[in-house]
Structure 1
Amino acid sequence: MDIMEPAYGTAYLLTVAAVAVAVLLVLIMKVRLHPFLALVLVSMVTAVAAGIPLADVPDTLLAGFGGTLGSVALLVALGVMLGRLLEKTGGAQVLANTLIARFGEKRAPLALGIAALIFGFPIFFDAGLVIFLPIIFSVARQFGGSVLLYALPTAGAFAAMHAIVPPHPGPVAAADLMGGDIGLTLIVGVPVAVVAWFVGAYLVGTRLGRRIVTSPAAMFGDASDGDDRIAADPPKFVAVLGLLLFPLILICLNTGISTLQTSGTVPEDAAWADALVLLGQTPVALLLTVLLSLVVLAPGRFSMQRATALMDDALGPICAIILITGAGGMFGGVLRASGIGTSLTESLSGLGFSLIVQAFLIATALRVAQGSATVALTTTAGLVSAQVAAQELDDFHVALLVFAIAAGSTVLSHVNDSGFWLVGRFFGMDVKTTLKTWTVLETTLGLAVFLLAALLWVVF
């Protein structure tokens, strides 16, 4: 989707964006209009008000909607299929029980968060969260209370790794644009992500989770819904862990080989390398994992016909989630296409702050204005790259700049962010509750990352 030259000034575009968000919140929270309808309506009106030519409005809407669905729908659908099979065979419960046995009931949220940090190293936020859904729900069902007590620390762990640590595309692109060293960014990024997660996501998430109770849709059914024959013979822990590690290994191979091809160590036209890169694409890796789960879990438990019925049952509840997430991407896409990002970066580029503070503020403004964390991260990195070169910063300080920009692109997730809708709908939250939980957690996580980066910037 091309970003047009802004038809109006920054002040006008910011006003349009603010009014659009306010109207959207009123329609959903006060009028009780379905979020999908509200998002599509506000996106269309915002596109017109922002000066996008009328003939281009339909294409702009479809580009934002389709682009988001392309990255979300396959992952969510394949993920819940895998989750349904693990849930119905008792595999998710086996994994949950093993984690609890190692960490104890009181440390269950910590156990899930640490597991998510490990799995989040190569896996994107949305894919990792979908894979962990049955485990989160199994633990919550076992111990009672709000699912958010377990969901928020887990989702925060995936968010931290996705935003800060290579090989995720955002930090890789930012480091590259500013001439930094990706390897050093990875080495420093892991401890920064872990500490920031514990302070900004685990402590905050568990506190919020104990206070707020939600009722998520039963997308994986209930362990007691009449399939006792299947659950009576659960798979072994090693089999369940192997199924979860399988996509992780494929995605790691993809990342490693792609890096070697870029560096010239592996020829770019090597057929075997291209094949492994293909197998490690996240949708392909999840597809192969679902097929492998049928081979591992089905024999002696259910027929292929029964497996199809189980997966059909899982797909129904997520249709609304996928559509609303796509509509959220549509709204964010309209704001990006309007040129608000271009206007904002030009207005903020002359700020007289320290470079790390300036980078954080610009990324934050872009994140709030147009929703996409990746756009905020890469745009900000490109904007400050000239100053990085002029100041001749070393690789360590470039890495700290990457973290500061990632922090700004994480905070204040709201209605123009597709991830906001994904998390809210998965865990049964309305818009108000999502703002009180996920928006708060993303903000404290981002602030924790920035404060760590700023401290290291001053000390070193």
Structure 2
Amino acid sequence: MENWSQTLTAGPLLAIAAFAVALLLVLIIRFKVHAFLALAIVSLATAFATGIPSDAIVDVMVSNFGETLGSVALLVGFGAMLGKLVEHSGGARALADRMVAVFGEARAPFALGLASLFMGFPIFFDAGLVVMLPIIFAVARRLDGPVLLYGLPAAAAFSVMHVFVPPHPGPVTAIEAYGANPGLVLLVGIVMAFPLWYVSGYLWGLFAARRFPFGVTAGLFGELETDNIAQPPAVATVIAILLLPLVLIFANTSLLFAASIGWADATAEWFKLAVMIGQTPIALLISVLVASYVLGWRRGERGSALEKILDRSLGPICSVVLITGAGGMFGGVLQASGIGDALAGSLGDIGLPVIVAAYLVAVLVRLAQGSATVALVTAAGLMAPSVAAGDFSAMQVVAITLATAAGSVFAGHVNDSGFWLVGRLMGMDVATTLKTWTVQQALESVVAFALTYMLFILF
């Protein structure tokens, strides 16, 4: 791949990408081909069609598959174990009962979404969603309601925080590219988060649940626990266990921030150890070990009994992990084909206002190759010289930064690994995921751009 360069222009590349997406949808929806197999077939065909050298195709596919698995498998695996322990002990049901008692049945979706906004500040989207799912499922079963009524507001909350609020990688990348003020981006991102979530997550969740009123399946954590638990753990214990990974991850974030402003020595061994402990996979592993003792060993589930509980959590997520990895592989093939660079280059001089151009470039690259991070980096890299040369106020630069982030999340679909993660975790088929999650992502993007554009005009 080092000596290979793409000779196709943006037009043919975009046509190939559109045909590949259409073929994938036909294979899965019309011919019922398993999503994992369909993604592998279409990824291989797309690599040939875009001219990637034959001797590099397998490396491109495997490396992108492995890269996606590296970020997803540990998080989903540990998260599923944690969720199974919480569910099996009766803790999820106890917490669900308490939430319903405190907030009422009608306000349960709002409460779950609000809790997810809080949890989403330090924790990444996929990890936060997996940790929150046992509570979402427990509330849905407790109230016998559609899973999307409780799941979509929570998932949207994690998405909003992940896309727009530092220290998540998207906004941090855009801050560095544009030279924006990190404090202002953080402040504006937090202020934007609630109205953005309320419209694109909570209200949309209410609407989507009426259209798709399916209940909880036995998808993520194995067979549902139907036995009545005589003595479930205390609600405070369950909350403490669920908050443990958040505390560790937030400590990691705080230490890195302290080092960046000179308040801590990043070369010290204690600093490196503390940062390692607060990285998401390690934080979740520690949480699983604590939960194994508190919700398992201490309650009489020991030895092979505890091992079987944990083992039952891993079987159902196998398909989720593999399909998510294959989704990352498909997006990686499109990225390797150069479609993002070709699109960005063709849109570089279209004469639009900088904030609009940054948003549209991010949108188109996102739609073409799937990765929100690549879309954001591409758009920010292209527009950074224009921002630096323009006479923009500090707040206008913040608005451009967040507008680019808004474009990078637009309408995630089959070439985005997150699309498969959300759809499979919530028990949705491809068509339903397109009608619910893809629309939510588009709505989140458009509403966020409207807010940032108003900010750009006013300040």
Q: Same fold (TM over 0.5)?
A: yes
Q: Which deviates further from its counterpart, 302-311 or 424-433? A: 302-311
Is the CA contact 1:87–1:134 (under 8 Å) kept in the aligned structure 2? yes
Deviation at 1:451, TM superposition (A): 0.7
Q: Taking structure 1 as reference, are residues 3 and 239 closer, same or farther at Cα in structure 2, changes over 3 Å only?
A: farther
Equivalent AA in structure 1 for residue 452 of structure 2: A
Match in the other structure for 1:80: 80
Q: Which deviates further from its counterpart, 317-326 or 255-264? A: 255-264
- 1:268 aligns to what SS in structure 2? coil
Q: Which deviates further from its counterpart, 337-346 or 264-273? A: 264-273
Alpha-carbon distance in structure 2 between the residues aligned to 1:3 and 1:246: 48
Match in the other structure for 2:29: 29
Match in the other structure for 2:238: 240
Match in the other structure for 2:144: 144
Is the CA contact 1:147–1:209 (under 8 Å) kept in the aligned structure 2? yes
Match in the other structure for 2:212: 212
Is the CA contact 1:361–1:408 (under 8 Å) kept in the aligned structure 2? yes
Percent of residue pairs bearing the same amino acid type: 50
Alpha-carbon distance in structure 2 between the residues aligned to 1:5 and 1:246: 47
Alpha-carbon distance in structure 1 between the residues aligned to 2:87 and 2:203: 28
Match in the other structure for 2:57: 57
Is the CA contact 2:222–2:315 (under 8 Å) kept in the aligned structure 1? no
Alpha-carbon distance in structure 1 between the residues aligned to 2:421 and 2:98: 28
Match in the other structure for 1:275: 273
> Residue deviations 1:60-97, cap 9 Å, x none?
00011001000000000000000000001111122222
Equivalent AA in structure 1 for residue 258 of structure 2: L
Match in the other structure for 1:162: 162
Trace 1:258-297 onto structure 2 (pairs within 5 A).
Answer: 258-297=256-295
Deviation at 1:54, TM superposition (A): 0.4
Match in the other structure for 2:172: 172
Match in the other structure for 1:115: 115
Is the CA contact 1:410–1:442 (under 8 Å) kept in the aligned structure 2? yes
Alpha-carbon distance in structure 2 between the residues aligned to 1:297 and 1:2: 52
> Residue deviations 1:301-350, cap 9 Å, x none?
41132121111111111101111110000000000001111101101111
Deviation at 1:3, TM superposition (A): 11
Equivalent AA in structure 2 for residue 345 of structure 1: A
Alpha-carbon distance in structure 1 between the residues aligned to 2:3 and 2:379: 16
Deviation at 1:221, TM superposition (A): 4.4
Q: Taking structure 1 as reference, are residues 341 and 282 closer, same or farther at Cα in structure 2, changes over 3 Å only?
A: same
Is the CA contact 1:6–1:343 (under 8 Å) kept in the aligned structure 2? no
Equivalent AA in structure 2 for residue 288 of structure 1: I
Match in the other structure for 2:418: 419
Alpha-carbon distance in structure 2 between the residues aligned to 1:118 and 1:151: 16
Q: Taking structure 1 as reference, are residues 53 and 132 closer, same or farther at Cα in structure 2, changes over 3 Å only?
A: same
Equivalent AA in structure 1 for residue 30 of structure 2: K
Is the CA contact 2:87–2:225 (under 8 Å) kept in the aligned structure 1? no
Alpha-carbon distance in structure 1 between the residues aligned to 2:425 and 2:56: 33
Deviation at 1:294, TM superposition (A): 1.5
With normalisation by structure 1, the TM-score equals: 0.97
Is the CA contact 2:411–2:438 (under 8 Å) kept in the aligned structure 1? yes
Equivalent AA in structure 1 for residue 76 of structure 2: V
With normalisation by structure 2, the TM-score equals: 0.97
Which consecutive unaligned segments of at least 5 residues does structure 2 have? none
Match in the other structure for 1:11: 11
Is the CA contact 1:175–1:398 (under 8 Å) kept in the aligned structure 2? no
Is the CA contact 2:331–2:415 (under 8 Å) kept in the aligned structure 1? yes
Q: Taking structure 1 as reference, are residues 353 and 183 closer, same or farther at Cα in structure 2, changes over 3 Å only?
A: same
Match in the other structure for 1:406: 405
Equivalent AA in structure 1 for residue 234 of structure 2: K
- 1:106 aligns to what SS in structure 2? coil
Q: Taking structure 1 as reference, are residues 317 and 308 closer, same or farther at Cα in structure 2, changes over 3 Å only?
A: same
- 1:234 aligns to what SS in structure 2? coil
What RMSD, in angstroms, separates the aligned Cα atoms of the two structures?
1.5
- 1:388 aligns to what SS in structure 2? helix
Alpha-carbon distance in structure 1 between the residues aligned to 2:258 and 2:46: 44
